Amino acid sequence: MAAVETNATIQAKTNTTAEPVRPLANFPPSVWGDRFLSFTLDNSELEGYARAMEEPKEDLRRLITDATMESNKKLSLIYSVHRLGLTYLFLQEIEAQLDKLFKEFNLQDYLDLDLYTLSINFQVFRHLGYKLPCDVFSKIKDSNSGTFKEEISTDVKGMLGLYESAQLRVRGESILDEASAFTEAKLKSVVNTLEGNLAKQVMQSLRRPFHQGMPMVEARLYFSNYDEDCSTHESLLKLAKLHFNYLELQQKEELRIVSKWWKDMRFQETTPYIRDRVPECYLWILGMYIEPRYSLARIIATKITLFLVVLDDTYDAYATIEEIRLLTDAINRWDMSAIEQIPEYIRPFYKILLDEYAELEKQLAIEGRANSVIASKEAFQDIARGYLEEAEWTNSGYVASFPEYMKNGLITSAYNVISKSALVGMGEIVSENALAWYESHPKTLQASELISRLQDDVMTYQFERERGQSATGVDAYIKTYGVSEKEAIDELKIMIENAWKDINEGCLKPREVSMDLLAPILNLARMIDVVYRYDDGFTFPGKTMKEYITLLFVGSVSM
């Protein structure tokens, strides 16, 4: 978050009648307005898609379990199913097939495969949690020189597969470190000479590899750019289309619900200085899980994320330091009696915040799962304290050391609030043991948090500086280690790269918890990449996020 400017406190006395100097950011308005409020869900249409999916789903299930299908063709089919976002429909069948093939793995069998087939096989196993050894790629290096063989450079499709495979590497897999750099450079050098679908596929991967993209959008892009692979089996093509249309109707209805809630809460009237980003927040949460069964979870998590936006922008772009202290104290107390101590303009927000959490806790207590709501609430209190810490630093002109910054910055990244809030509506899978695992702050969670903090910092530090913000990871790193700005950014990017390797490791079997609980952690890191790889796509959502919202919610898949 960008904290308040240092001059914002000059007139910030609660007993002063003059209007205090406020650090207004003048955020761009919403590019969507009330567009998504007008959607009307036709339940009969939704049910029609659900019924129509049954036949191709069963046909595809038979293909996946076909014992006569050659293993490379089977893995290619599973790869397409995964890329299209259909894995959750066939998870047991797919895992049964991969268990068998993984047990039968023999490195010799991979020596005769072309690079693209080899890469597809590697990706299937790694994406689904099986640690196929990276030694399968040893054949593409010259044993004498240690460099990649020259013929690889002419195999564009093979290089594309290798580049995507390299994104799944873990620490210590140097051949994949080298392959990532090698293939990226080679693909960039030839992309403008390519034509047709191959050109689209390479451009898509260079812009953002599949593993670091938003699953729902990546599925749509795969459908568009890999039509030959999608058309190999009629049942796959038909199911993909129906599935996209089903999800689109459901997701438009969810977006309508949160849009209406936002409008009914009148935040744009009571706190007009905030960023109006309802579709963007919903997109962020949709990136964490696409399964229809998590519809309620998405609605709850989006509302809490919108609360975060109001809190962040109040601390960052309106409140004085005294007001920030009072609001933080009220959030710590979490009691309606504290409303009298906070400024008039933020009282409606405070009341709605407490009322919504109280209602959630009441609803989930009936199911014996109120602890997930309490965890979300406590994370919300933590972030308020973290925002206050940053505001105090900026108010005093203090530049924190990098370790000090990171300790607080992992809290203010909002990762903890969003990831815990994502659990609230997920149902029985969020057991006491699952919450305890989250609270233990495992390595996978730490890695995703780090990406959330540093990817944001690398992209937004210049904007933050202009607004008087002293608390950024780039500045803290420069101060602590006496390096240049470029060196600091390069080092932070290496930290982000290593964090991805730790996430990859944490998603491999045997896992500490189920993939249903790991997926939101992985996918939240992916959404940070989507939002912040090229620009601050949340504050200024005119590029990537606008493109994604248009793709998913404006128009439909042609049947």
Segment 220-273, tens digit of pLDDT: 999 999 999 999 999 999 999 999 999 999 999 999 999 999 999 999 999 999
Q: If we measure between CA atoms, which residue out of 336, 332, 321, 453 comes closest to residue 392?
A: 321
178 belongs to a structural domain: yes
**pLDDT band, very low/low/confident/very high, at 534 (cuts 50, 70, 90):** confident
Contact by Cβ (8 Å): 244, 220 = yes
Q: What is the mean predicted confidence (pLDDT) over 270-278?
A: 96
Q: What's the average model confidence in pLDDT over 381-385?
A: 98
Which residues on adjacent β-strands are paired with residue 148?
Answer: 141
| Same domain? 398 vs 506 | yes
Distances (CA, A) of 134 to 112, 187, 320, 518: 16, 21, 54, 23
Q: Does residue 335 lie in a domain region? A: yes
Judge whether 470 and 453 are in contact, CB under 8 Å: no
Token representation of residue 392 = 């105090």
When pLDDT is cut at 50, 70 and 90, the band that residue 463 belongs to is low
Measure the CA–CA gap between 322 and 333, rounded to whole angstroms.
17
The amino acid at residue 336 is M
At residue 408 the predicted structure's pLDDT band, cuts being 50, 70 and 90, is very high
Mean pLDDT computed over 41-64? 98
Residue 212 lies in a domain: yes
Confidence of residue 78 (pLDDT cuts 50, 70, 90): very high
Q: Do 283 and 230 fall into the same domain?
A: no
Residue 9, pLDDT above cutoff 70: no
Q: What is the pLDDT of residue 241?
A: 96
Using the predicted structure, report yes or no on whether residue 2 has a pLDDT greater than 60.
Answer: no
Residue written as tokens 């290089």?
159
Are 425 and 515 found together in one domain?
yes
3-state secondary structure of 557: coil
Length of the chain, please? 559
Averaged pLDDT, 511-527: 96
Q: Which residue has the higher pLDDT, 454 or 472?
A: 454
Residue 44 has pLDDT above 80, yes or no: yes
The three-class DSSP label of residue 476 is helix
> Are 223 and 305 members of one domain?
no
**In the numeric block, which tokens belong to residue 437?**
């695992």
Report the CATH number that the domain containing residue 210 is assigned in CATH: 1.50.10.130
Q: What is the mean pLDDT of residues 80-103?
A: 98
The per-residue pLDDT for 57 is: 98
Q: Is residue 309 part of a domain?
A: yes
CATH number of the domain enclosing 314 = 1.10.600.10
CA angle 197-198-200, nearest 5°?
A: 65
Whole-number Cα distances in Å, 188 to 140, 194, 200, 497, 540: 20, 11, 13, 20, 27
Q: Which residues contact residue 185 at a Cβ distance below 8 angstroms, ignoring those fewer than 6 apart?
A: none
**The model's pTM:** 0.94
Q: What are phi and psi of 533, to 5 degrees?
A: -65, -45
Specify if 34 maps to a domain. no
344 plus 274 within the same structural domain: yes
- Whether 58 is in a domain gets the answer no
| pLDDT on residue 419 | 95
**352 and 497 co-located in one domain:** yes
- Evaluate whether residue 37 is within a structural domain: no
Pair of tokens at residue 203: 């451009």
Shared domain for 342 and 435, answered yes or no, is yes
**Residue 498 confidence (pLDDT) above 70:** yes
Verify that 341 and 420 share a domain, yes or no. Answer: yes
Residue 73's pLDDT band (cuts 50, 70, 90): very high
Is 141 strand, coil or helix? strand
Whose CA is closest to 240, among 43, 45, 97, 56?
56
Closest residue by Cα to residue 226 from 120, 71, 97: 120
* Number of Cβ atoms within 10 Å of the Cβ of 50: 14
Residue 543: the pLDDT is 87
d(CA 23, CA 468): 9
Is residue 297 within 8 A of residue 426, CB to CB? The reply is yes
- For the record, the structure tokens of 515 come out as 């993939």
Burial (CB < 10 A; 0-12, 13-18, 19+), residue 193, is exposed
Alpha helices in 208-343 (DSSP H): 215-225, 227-230, 234-265, 267-270, 278-286, 295-317, 321-333
Whether 397 and 6 have beta carbons less than 8 Å apart is answered as: yes
Judged against a pLDDT cut of 80, whether residue 17 lies above it is answered with: no
What pLDDT score was predicted for residue 536? Answer: 82
pLDDT of residue 459: 86
Q: Is the pLDDT of residue 116 over 60?
A: yes
Q: Where are the alpha helices (DSSP H) in 467-543?
A: 473-481, 485-506, 515-532
What is the rounded distance in angstroms from the CA atom of residue 311 to the CA atom of residue 383?
9
The tokens describing 97, both together, are: 């097939």
Residue 229 and residue 112 in one domain: yes
Give the structural domain span for 127.
65-236
Q: For the residues 373-400, what does the mean pLDDT come to? A: 95
Residue by residue, DSSP assigns 59-126 as HHHHHHT-TTS-HHHHHHHHHHHHHTT-GGGSHHHHHHHHHHHHHT--GGGGTTS-HHHHHHHHHHHH
Lowest mean pLDDT among 177-191, 369-383, 391-405: 391-405
Q: How far apart are CA 115 and CA 157, in angstroms?
A: 8
User: 517 Cβ partners below 8 Å, 6+ apart?
Assistant: 423, 429, 430, 434, 437, 438
Are 541 and 401 members of one domain? Answer: yes
* Tens of pLDDT, residues 302-329: 999 999 999 999 999 999 999 999 999 9
Structural domain includes residue 350 = yes
Label residue 70 left, alpha or beta by phi (over 0 means left) and psi (-120 to 50 means alpha).
beta
Of 217, 236, 255, the one marking the end of a domain is 236
Same domain, 119 and 159: yes
Q: Are 532 and 419 part of one and the same domain?
A: yes
Query: In total, how many domains does the chain have?
Result: 2
Q: Which tokens belong to 438?
A: 């989250």
Q: How confident is the model at residue 3 (pLDDT cuts 50, 70, 90)?
A: very low
Q: Which of 74-88, 182-196, 543-557 has the lowest mean pLDDT?
A: 543-557
Q: Looking at residue 462, what is its pLDDT? A: 75
pLDDT score of 557: 62
Work out the mean pLDDT of the chain and round it to a whole number: 93
